Amino acid sequence: MAASTVTSKGQITIPKEVRDDLGLETGSSVLFVKMSDGSYRLVARTGQMKDLAGILHRPGRRPLTIDEINDGIAEAAAESARQGLPSAGR
């Protein structure tokens, strides 16, 4: 397991083994993502936006309209809210 120490300025050195595994080079960006359990995940930002082109493409499926996307988001948010509420009688 790789480890590092925080300096008085709040900086850390990412161990070489970790940099190599994540493909980090000088100037690379990393994100510190807070997880639901309170821990953090370090995510390497080594790609470019153009690398994402086509990753959601489903052959034979037509692209969704903005309205369809917004409706899907609203439905998912409503479902999430319903799951977070206790049912009647509890």
Let me know if residue 6 belongs to a domain: no
Residue ranges making up the domain that contains 42: 16-47+56-84
Let me know if residue 5 belongs to a domain: no
pLDDT in tens, 23-78: 898 988 898 999 889 999 988 887 777 777 777 778 888 888 999 999 999 999 99
Let me know if residue 62 belongs to a domain: yes
Q: Are 64 and 74 in contact (CB under 8 A)?
A: no
Let me know if residue 28 belongs to a domain: yes
Q: What is the Cα–Cα distance from 23 to 32, expressed in whole angstroms?
A: 16
Helix (H, G, I), strand (E, B) or coil at 66: helix
Q: Across the strands, what pairs with 33?
A: 41
pLDDT in tens, 12-36: 999 999 999 988 989 888 989 998 8
Let me know if residue 32 belongs to a domain: yes
Task: Count how many domains the chain has.
Answer: 1
Q: Are 23 and 51 in contact (CB under 8 A)?
A: no
Q: Give the global pTM.
A: 0.48
Let me know if residue 71 belongs to a domain: yes
